[in-house]
Amino acid sequence: MSVYLFSPDAEAARRFADERSSRNGAVVVLGLEAIKGHRPDRRDLSYVDLRGLDEAAGRKAVQAIKRRCPGSAWGVVDPDGAVADPAALFFAGASDYIGPAVIGAGVDAARFKAALAFGRRREPAADAGAEAASFVEGASSDGDREGGFGGWKAVRPGSSYPFCFLYATASSPANLKTSLGEAGYVAFRDRLRHIMQQGLAEADALLWMETDSSALYLAPPYAANASALTEFCLRTLLGAPLIGYERLCLPFQLDFTFAVHYGVTEFAPPGKTGTIVSEAVNYSYHLGVKRAEPGRLTISADAAGLAVPGRFSDLFAPAGSFEGKSILHSRRFWA
C-alpha cells in the first residue's frame, strides 16, 4: 500500500506527512496539480488536502481526487475544519475524513489500514449500486398517484391518503431498557424523539405512532420528502457512534434500524390511531420488525422510486423480497 497526499501547500503537508512517516511508512506528498496524472493501484490510498482552499476550490479538489480514484480508496485531509458536512464526503464515495481533531490526536498506520479496508468494502457495494440504480429506475417516482394528499392542512381524519412511512427503532431496545433502568430509558426515549423530530423536519414528517421501542412516521408522498427521509437515515447510521455517546449520553455504542415504505392509509391524528386497519401500516411495521437489520436502511420497491435519488443509488443493493415486494438494503457504515 502507498499513501498519497495532494496538497496546495506542499511544505506544510510534508511536515504533516513526516511526523507520521516514522510510524506509518512513507507518505508521498505532491501538489494539487499532480492529481490530473494520478493513477493509483487499487491497494493505494489517496488523500486531497483542503488547507487554505475556499469552498469552490475545495469542491473542485474533491471532485478531482474522486475522478482519479474510481477503483481505489480516497479521502480528505481538512486541517482547517472547512468541510461543514463530512458525511457528504462518504456519500460521494470517500473512505476517510481526517479533520482537525484527528490530526491533533495523531494518525497512525491502523488508521490508513482501516480506511483502505473501508474502501475495499465499497467495491462490491458499487457493483450492487448499479443494480440498485436499475431497480430504482423501474420504480415509480410519482408518489401522489392518487392526487389526494394536498398538504398536512388538507388532511382530514377518516379519509385515506398516500404517504411515505418511516419505521425507526434503536437497536436492541430490550437491552437498552435493562442497561439504563426504567427512568433512564424514559429519558433516553425523550432525547431520541427530539433528535428524530429535529432531523426529520426537512422531510415534513409527522410522528404518527409510537410504541415503547419504535416509532412510525408519515411523510408527504413526494420525492423531495422521501429522499429527505433517506438522507436523514443514512446520516444517522453513519453518525451512530457519536449520536449515542454525545447526544444521547449513553456509555455504550448505539445502532439504529430504519425501514421506508410507500402506501395508502386512512388517517387519524397521533394518539387516536388505535382503530386504523391498513395494509400499508402493517407492511411498514413488518418490514421494520421482521426484515430490516440493525445498521441499515431497508426500502420497499413501492418507495424506492421516491426515496432513492441517483446520488444515493450506490449505497443500496437489492436484498431479495419481503411479503411479495422487492426490497433494497443500504450498505453498512460500521462493522
At 190, give phi and psi (nearest 5°): -65, -45
Q: What pLDDT shows up at residue 128?
A: 46
Q: Length of the chain, please? A: 335
Q: How far apart are CA 85 and CA 1, in angstroms?
A: 28
| pLDDT score, position 125 | 46
- The partner residues of 166 in beta bridges, in order of sequence, read 217, 260
User: Which pLDDT score, from 0 to 100, does residue 60 have?
Assistant: 93
pLDDT computed for residue 18 by the predictor: 61
Beta bridge partners of 213: none
What pLDDT is stored for residue 223 in this prediction? 87
Task: State the pLDDT at residue 157.
Answer: 93
pLDDT computed for residue 88 by the predictor: 85
Measured distance CA(60)–CA(175) in Å, rounded:
46
Residue 278 CA to residue 263 CA, distance in Å, equals 9
Domains of the chain: 3-125 (3.40.50.2300), 141-330 (3.30.70.1230)
Q: Say what the pLDDT of residue 146 is.
A: 44
Q: All 3 cell numbers of residue 182?
A: 426504567
Note the pLDDT of residue 149: 75
Instruction: Provide block-wise average pLDDT over 10 residues at a time, the chain (335 residues).
Output: 86 67 64 89 90 92 90 90 88 88 79 82 50 48 56 90 94 76 92 95 95 94 91 93 88 91 93 90 96 95 86 86 92 80
pTM: 0.63
Neighbours of 309 (CB within 10 A): 16
